[in-house]
Amino acid sequence: MTHPEQPPTQAAVKVDSLNPRSRELNLTVKVVSKGEVRETVSRSDGSTHRVVDALVGDETGSICVTLWDDNIGKVKAGDVIDVKNGYISLFKGSMRLNIGRFGSFEASQVHLNLWGVAICLLDVLPRGLQLFCHF
């Protein structure tokens, strides 16, 4: 029995290497904080969805990630997650990490220590996220 070839797995990347064209991303990040859940209506079909912005990072930097519907309850501040097949988009001029329908995330066994890394985003924080500075 033959098995179809699996596409090569992208190597894990760090937050400081992300750019607006980054695709098929695998990375490990710590959830620093989560904003408040809000509802939005889909422009394509009119359905209502829940959405929340979270600040995540690793030892090289931080970025906001958008979590939708069922994914919202799967993480809390302090969790470390492995993101598979994520991508970057621009929203209101800021880069965002997205999981998307073809991506996933799960709890990580990796310990990330963010001490020594300044995570302080006063002017780019999305509505609902608290200012968090970590040095």
pLDDT per residue over 24-40, tens digit each?
A: 999 999 998 899 999 99
CATH class of domain segment(s) 15-107: mainly beta
**Side-chain-side CA neighbours of residue 116 (13 Å):** 5
Residue 11 is predicted with a pLDDT of 84
Residue 2 is predicted with a pLDDT of 41
pLDDT at 6 over 80: no
Pairing of strands 61-68, 94-98: parallel
- At 127, list the tokens: 């509505």
pLDDT confidence band for 89 (50 / 70 / 90)? very high
- Delimit the domains of the chain by residue range: 15-107
* pTM greater than 0.85 (yes/no): no
pLDDT confidence band for 50 (50 / 70 / 90)? very high
- Tell the burial category of 116 from Cβ atoms under 10 Å away from its Cβ (0-12, 13-18, 19+): exposed
Q: Which of 10-14, 59-63, 73-77 has the highest mean pLDDT?
A: 73-77
pLDDT per residue over 108-125, tens digit each?
A: 999 887 765 555 444 444
The SS3 of residue 71 is helix
pLDDT at 4 over 50: no
Distance of alpha carbon 64 from alpha carbon 52, whole angstroms: 10
